[in-house]
Amino acid sequence: MNINLKGKKALVGGSSGGIGKAIAQQLAESGASVTLMSRSEEKLQKIVSNLPTDQDQVHNYLVVDFSDFHSYREIIYGYFETNSVDILVNNTQGPAAGSAMEKQTSDYQEAFDLLFKTVSYTTELALEHMKTNKWGRIINVASVSVKEPLSYLALSNTIRAAVVTWAKSLANDVGQYQITVNSILTGYFDTERIEQLNAKKAEQLGISEEEVLADMESRVPVRRIGDPKEYGYLATFLASDQGAYITGTQIPIDGGLLKSL
């Protein structure tokens, strides 16, 4: 099966590293023109310069801070005044780790702005072109914790669950326009985010980060954490014509980590 995204334009959040970068890379390899979004202009410039291109592809980037919704809203609104996208990958950095007992109402509001408002607002702007064009792909990077909450990720558990249920509702509304809406439930992947979480857990437990990683891998049936490239393959399939009949889903990519159905 050959996935061909030539002529498609994609906007990928959180794409200066980790999962977002891997998705952007694979979309570009499949022929899409990709606009990356992140806080680090230096990283974005380097990634854009190394993305595969042919004569029909034009890659770009937006410097945004997802944690500052006011400034993000102005930048993304300006972008859509002169641009449109066919594929939207909603992805941001994760909120601070911590248990429900450690978090206050203000923390949940900040997490809501970061994880939900940026997603819903960007999608609202992207949908105008998708509806007119009768083709679109919306892919939300979520977490396995929406099905089996992780005690140390209370903010992420809560708000990402809201994103997933919103996406299911949206899929029902936009299916008539041949727009698909899917959420990917992320397991353990080899990213900076995992390294940061493991460092905090190691400090709390008084063990080494290597021991934390070994324990993590032992919980996954395939006995390893994921390569971000594998994530990119799934996202690119969902973005393709081959994935046109898949919508309203929550697809785990976790090496079998989830124990629930």
How far is 184 from 207, CA to CA, in rounded Å?
31
Q: For residue 232, what pLDDT is reported?
A: 98
Q: For residue 166, what pLDDT is reported?
A: 98
User: Which region, left, alpha or beta, applies to residue 175 given φ > 0 means left and ψ of -120 to 50 means alpha?
Assistant: alpha
Asked if residue 75 lies in contact with residue 62, where contact means CB atoms within 8 angstroms, the answer is yes
Q: For residue 194, what pLDDT is reported?
A: 87
Asked if residue 30 lies in contact with residue 18, where contact means CB atoms within 8 angstroms, the answer is no
CA distances from 17 to 24, 163, 257 (A): 10, 22, 23
Show the beta-strand stretches assigned E in 40-197.
60-63, 87-90, 136-143, 179-186
Which of 23, 254, 18 is closest to 150 using CA atoms?
254
Q: For residue 117, what pLDDT is reported?
A: 98
Q: For residue 1, what pLDDT is reported?
A: 86
Asked if residue 60 lies in contact with residue 72, where contact means CB atoms within 8 angstroms, the answer is no
- The DSSP code sequence of 205-258 is HTS-HHHHHHHHHHHSTTSSPBPHHHHHHHHHHHHSGGGTT--S-EEEESTT--
The CA-to-CA distance between both ends of the chain, in Å, stands at 29
Of the candidate CATH numbers 3.40.1170.20, 3.20.20.140, 3.40.50.720, 3.40.50.2000, the domain formed by 9-187+228-250 belongs to 3.40.50.720
Question: Which distant-in-sequence residues (6+ apart) come within 8 Å of 139 by Cβ?
Answer: 87, 88, 89, 90, 182, 183, 184, 235, 238, 239
Q: For residue 35, what pLDDT is reported?
A: 98
Domain spans of the chain?
Answer: 9-187+228-250, 188-225
Query: Beta 136-143 vs 33-38: how paired, if at all?
Result: unpaired
How far is 87 from 220, CA to CA, in rounded Å?
31
Could you list the pLDDT tens digit for every one of the 261 residues in the chain? 899 999 999 999 999 999 999 999 999 999 999 999 999 999 999 999 999 998 889 999 999 999 999 999 999 999 999 999 999 999 999 899 899 999 999 999 999 999 999 999 999 999 999 999 999 999 999 999 999 998 989 999 999 999 999 999 999 999 999 999 999 999 999 998 888 888 888 888 899 999 999 999 999 999 999 999 999 999 999 999 999 999 999 999 999 999 998
Q: Which residue has the tokens 């900076």?
A: 192
